[in-house]
Amino acid sequence: MKVSFKGLSVLLSASLFVTLLSGCTGGSQGNGGAADTPSVKDGQADKGTLTLDLYSDRSWYSDWSGPGAKRITAKTGISFNVKKPVQDDGDGKDISLMIASNSLPDVMVVDRGNKMLQQLVEGNYLYSMDELIDKYAPNLRNILNEQYGPELLTNFKEQDGKTYKLVSGYQTAKYLEQAKKNSGLAPVWLPQLVVRKDYYDEIGRPDTSSPEKFLAALEQMAKKHPDKIPYLGDKGQHANDLGWFLSQFGMEEYYVNGDKVQHNLHNPKWKDVIKFGNTMASKGLLTKESFVNTGEVTSQKVAAGDVIVSALNSAAENNAPPKDNPNTKFEMLPPFSTYMFSTIPKGWMVLVIPKTNKNPERTMKLLEYAASKEGQADFSYGVEGPGADGFKSVDAGPHFFYDKTVPNDYYAQGKPTYTTGFNDALNKDWGGTWKQAGLGEPVMLITNWAVTNAPFWNPKDEKKVAYDKLMAPKMKFFPEFNFVINGTSEVGITEAKLKTLRGDYLPKLVFAQSEQEFESLFGDMLKKADALGISKLEEEYTKQYNANLAKLGKK
């Protein structure tokens, strides 16, 4: 579920991104409704401008200087002095230095995977959100529970029962409900098998909804076109676990075996996937190119028309036709009947408040506003206009309007929709436009994806509705698998070694010359996994699994 500002323009230009969009806009007058934003009503802006020090470990986070940030400051009386690294610092080197020099800032907005986050919690450097909400912003609890989902204040509790991290981009039940309702749950980038339509038509478009039927169809097309590569992926998709086929076989992230949670090396489904790859290879349908080609090389071969079936996604249907036949196109094959895309909701960015914060009361009032409908519109949409027309500039907007013809559960005025001019500017230069406008992800504090995704959810788009109807039921969410494994611990080192072991054995297994050789290799791999200490790692998985179930109220 995590995506960076730099990556957004690439994803959108490739038509690979819809539902994973984070905050994308900000600042206006009259957005939402001030009833749920006491921070503004209570006259915080009248107390004078307060400048807080903010650190983000993301290089894309903006200085608090754009027009969107200025509008928010004018409304709330708070601005930020932003410190950020030149390159993303997920290792937490900056945080380590700040701890050592006793110079933690007032607010931190960092990636939820930052390696120093837990040390901040365990070292007693942070206020608990529970304490600050109860003392300074009690309505924030209601806003989070009702508009985001109660999971934000329950699923991220630490061992002491307190919540220190306010998480953005977490797929709560509320978010999933909204995504399903608006045909936005299934992103276009879900792994799919994509075929040339001309070759598929040529063999009568047979059913490919099982591994056996898919192989039979692929064999037919390969026989008719022996000069083509039957199936092609790239090393990023296949090098460690034949990843592009895991969803087709309905693989989960971990293997629940009775009362134990095991590594997928012990999952019979994983062995089935690798056997399937071995069958493909034995028939000449899967070659070593899929394990060594870069994505760029594979893309060039697919575009040239050298490939029959490729490891892509539904967005490939919008690609230019293969160069050897401009009269055909690429087409997504129906997923296997066993298809299941497994997701572990973990959230995206995390806001924490160090005990060095110079004014917790005004900070919490700001968060109460930022989390509200009004604040989300200010941060996520920009300046409101009366309709689709009227756009003047990226700085001044209007950036959006409320479309009365499309109901929205968050805004009684209708679905938030970008003005034509602002939408055109985004299409021309996604990252540059957001930065110039001073909106959205680059200035986010807390983000409700059910709000920020709203402009991109279109229940009137028949093609999108059909895709979501097909794929949304095949998406499954497993918050109970949200394991935290310290990479420097004994089990963390074991986990890393197992990944290397699997990567080493995978091509040997796929290209084994006989079933006997396959089984011998598989057995050797499991013996080495045992020697590496896989059982201790699985004990840790099981321990955290049971704790998560209890936290989720499932045990």
CA distance 178 to 448: 11
User: Is 323 buried (19+), middle (13-18) or exposed (0-12) by CB count in 10 A?
Assistant: exposed
Angle 553-266-346 from CA coordinates, rounded to 5°: 40
Given this model, what pLDDT does residue 238 score? 86
What is the DSSP secondary-structure string of 461-511? -HHHHHHHHHHGGGEEE-GGG-----TTSHHHHHHHHHHHHHHHHHHHHHT
Between the alpha carbon of residue 94 and those of residues 56, 57, 97, 103, the distances in Å are: 10, 8, 5, 11
pLDDT at residue 32, rounded to an integer:
47
Instruction: Choose among 472, 491, 503: nearest CA to 532.
Output: 491
The confidence score (pLDDT) of residue 239 equals 75
Look up residue 354 and give its DSSP letter. Answer: B
Q: What is the pLDDT of residue 386?
A: 94
Is the CB of residue 364 less than 8 Å from the CB of residue 398?
no
Cα radius of gyration rounded to whole Å, the chain:
25
What is the tens place of the pLDDT at every residue in 489-513? 999 999 999 999 999 999 999 999 9
Which residues of the chain have a pLDDT value below 50? 1-30, 32-35, 37-39, 41
pLDDT of amino acid 1: 33
What is the Cα–Cα distance from 103 to 53, expressed in whole angstroms?
10
Give the pLDDT score at 46.
62
* 3-class DSSP assignment, residue 522: helix
384: three-class secondary structure by DSSP: strand
Q: pLDDT tens digit string along 69-81? A: 999 999 999 999 9
Torsion of CA 220, 224, 229, 233, to 10 degrees: -30
Query: pLDDT at position 41, please?
Result: 47
